[in-house]
Structure formats: structure tokens, C-alpha cells
Amino acid sequence: MAQQNLALLDRTGHEFDPARLGFPPMLPVELAMRTDTVANICAGYSISREEFAEMVDDPLFCAAYQLAKDELKKDGVSFRMKAKMQAEALLQQSWKLIHSPDTPNTVKADLIKSTVKWAGYEPRGDALGTGTGSAFQININLG
């Protein structure tokens, strides 16, 4: 199995499920990027020394960390990873703005639309009636 595919399997060999991660998804990326000391990065996630020691023994965490390191070796990936890290943090800010009574409804609507789009829940252009396909139409004039 290829090195990259290791990050897609959990310890039991099942398909990767981010909901079952025992660590924050961006932690391996931040560690690979060396944005700060390990202690400071872990403190930012409220991870104790003991919890981190357990993570280091987790094959899924090790695979995610190795994948992040490999990705950093490619041109341009470092910028993309930084953008992903910012996006994760900005989603929290977006949540606060959407639920704040002080935020104008137009801003809330834009944030909700954007979140739906980023999550991939926006309707695709290939659905019937979206105008991108060749829809069959019949017009009957009764007058």
C-alpha cells in the first residue's frame, strides 16, 4: 500500500473517518510546518504532554504527520496548507458572526451560502432545470 494511503486508513484498516480522529486534523500539519514549538502548538489545542505522548504512538497520527511532511516538500503546498489552517480558524469566526444578533442579515446570508458552497452542498450545474443541460420543453398555445 502506498505511503499516502496509510493516512486514509485507521488502525483497524477501515476507511478514514475524520470524526474518529484522536487528534485535531490540523495538528500534524502545524507540527510538520514547525509554526512554533511542539509545546506551544499543543498548548494551543489544549493537549497535555501525556496526551501528545499517546498521539505519537498512534499509527494514524504518525501517518498524517508523515503525509504533511511529504506535502511540504512539494512546491506551493506550504502556502496551501497555511490557507487551510486559516480557513479552519476562520470557520469558527464565521460561526460566531452567523449566530451574533449584531450581525446584519445580509452578512449572515452570505456566510451561510459560502459555508454551504465550501462544504460541497451547493447544487451542481448538471441537475435538470439548471439551464446547463439540453432540457426538453413543450409550449402549448391555447389562444
Cβ-contact 120, 113 below 8 angstroms: no
Q: Is the pLDDT of residue 13 over 90?
A: no
Q: Would you state the pLDDT for residue 20?
A: 54
pLDDT in tens, 29-81: 889 888 899 999 999 999 999 999 989 998 989 999 998 888 887 766 667 77
Q: Would you state the pLDDT for residue 52?
A: 93
**Calpha distance 95→128 (Å, rounded):** 32
Comparison of pLDDT for 15 and 48, the residue scoring more: 48
493516512: which residue's cell? 7
Average pLDDT over residues 5-10: 45
When the pLDDT of each residue in the chain is averaged and rounded to a whole number, the result is 78
State how far the alpha carbon of 3 is from the alpha carbons of 6, 67, 83, 133, in Å. Answer: 5, 8, 24, 41
pLDDT in tens, 84-110: 778 877 888 888 899 899 999 999 999
| Amino acid at the residue 31 | L
What letter would DSSP give residue 10? -
Domain boundaries, the chain: 3-73
Cβ-contact 68, 60 below 8 angstroms: no
